[in-house]
């Protein structure tokens, strides 16, 4: 499929900006249209490596604004919905804003793609839609069972989007990612929170007893998976994730080690979320069969991520 125009929402966010860079390199000659509301999590400067190119057009706007799409989706071949409210803690405080952006917003994005004849549609989702997985791994056929307002809003979006592939015969892809790490991530998330706490000589706050387990994939590996999937003819659901698991406390201790700080003096345990899934775990065999493979590794990448935050933490105004 010849790709001339790609539309992406949430491109000024953490993962979105890495996906935009990967698309920019992988689809030479294509144009990229980025729609982002620039909430607290999005920054235009995350796109500084590509935004000056005549191939890139940035539009500040809301994915729920139905009127915005007609002009932006003209002759678009592929549309990718990355925009979301993404922080689980916030979803307990303001669940409706999550349903509004993540579910209603995704529905408006989808209908606009259908109306404007976009051929291929990709929804970025999360492994959290499966809910807690104490043992074993979920493959894509596992029933979804979200346990917090964030994951429920993402699961609801998936159900709506995937139901449309029957009536409209669209190429619809859904990608369920596990935790992603890298530069530009907002400090509300574990890794930057640990790093910035130590930069500011504060203790790292860890939820509960810190034993919750998570898998971490680099934003580069995640972006590469997205590019691979949009190039293939396939449709359907794909898990994308890492195969190495860390407890939250292990991540905090690794970061203390790199700062040469004693964990027992630099970590404090704080009140847990109302519900905090102990573990998620996905099988990535399906995407591996397409030729995708995790290349990066959290522990190797932490030093360069720390360097980025040392230079840039002030942009977060925290």
Looking at the DSSP bridge assignments, the partners of residue 122 are: 80, 173
Residues 52-71 within binding reach of ligand NAD (CB under 6 A): 62-64
Q: Is 126 a binder of ligand NAD (CB under 6 A)?
A: yes
150-185: burial string, b at 16+ Cβ within 10 Å, e else: bbbbbbbbbebbbebbeeeebbbbbbbbbbbbbbbb
Q: Binding residue for ligand NAD (CB under 6 A) from 20, 42, 58, 212?
A: 42
Tokens coding 155 = 């699961």
Q: Binding residue for ligand NAD (CB under 6 A) from 31, 86, 148, 266?
A: 86
Residue numbers annotated as active site:
127-128, 150
Dmax (CA) for the chain in angstroms is 58
Cα–Cα dist 260/56, whole Å: 42
Q: Closest separation between CB of residue 172 and ligand NAD, Å? A: 16
Residues 6+ apart with CB under 8 A from 116: 69, 70, 73, 74, 76
- Using CB under 6 A, which of the segments 76-84, 162-170, 283-291, 297-305 binds ligand NAD? 76-84
Q: Closest separation between CB of residue 193 and ligand NAD, Å? A: 13
Q: Is 13 a binder of ligand NAD (CB under 6 A)?
A: yes
Q: Is 194 a binder of ligand NAD (CB under 6 A)?
A: no
The residue assigned the tokens 């040392």 is 310
Q: Is 193 a binder of ligand NAD (CB under 6 A)?
A: no
- In the complex, the residues that contact ligand NAD under the rule CB under 6 A are 9-10, 12-16, 36-39, 41-42, 62-64, 82-86, 101, 105, 124, 126, 154, 177, 179-180, 186
């Amino acid at each position: 499929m010849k790709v001339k125009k790609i539309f992406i929402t949430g491109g000024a966010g953490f993962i979105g900006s890495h996906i935009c860079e990967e698309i920019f390199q992988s689809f030479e000659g294509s144009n990229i249209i980025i729609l982002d509301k620039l909430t607290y999590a999005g920054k235009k400067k995350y796109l500084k490596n590509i935004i000056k190119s005549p191939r890139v057009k940035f539009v500040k706007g809301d994915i729920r604004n139905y009127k915005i799409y007609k002009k932006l989706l003209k002759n678009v071949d592929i549309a990718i919905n990355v925009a979301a409210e993404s922080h689980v803690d916030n979803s307990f405080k303001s669940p409706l804003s999550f349903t509004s952006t993540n579910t209603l917003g995704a529905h408006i994005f989808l209908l606009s793609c259908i109306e404007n004849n976009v051929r291929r549609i990709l929804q970025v989702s999360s492994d959290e839609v499966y809910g807690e997985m104490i043992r074993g791994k979920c493959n894509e056929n596992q029933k979804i069972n979200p346990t917090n307002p964030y994951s429920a809003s993402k699961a609801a979006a998936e159900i709506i989007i995937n139901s449309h592939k029957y009536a409209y015969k669209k190429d619809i892809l859904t990608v369920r990612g596990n935790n992603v790490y890298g530069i530009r991530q907002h400090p509300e998330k574990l890794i930057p929170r640990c790093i910035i706490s130590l930069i500011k000589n504060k203790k790292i706050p860890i939820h509960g007893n810190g034993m919750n387990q998570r898998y971490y994939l680099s934003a580069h590996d995640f972006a590469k998976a997205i590019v691979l999937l949009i190039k293939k003819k396939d449709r359907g659901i794909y898990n994308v994730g890492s195969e190495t698991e860390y407890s939250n406390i292990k991540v905090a201790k690794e970061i203390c080690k790199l700062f040469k700080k004693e964990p027992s003096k630099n970590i404090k345990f704080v009140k847990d979320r109302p519900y905090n899934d102990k573990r998620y775990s996905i099988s990535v065999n399906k995407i591996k069969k397409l030729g995708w493979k995790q290349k990066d590794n959290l522990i190797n990448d932490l030093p360069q991520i720390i360097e980025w935050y040392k230079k840039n933490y002030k942009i977060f105004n925290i």
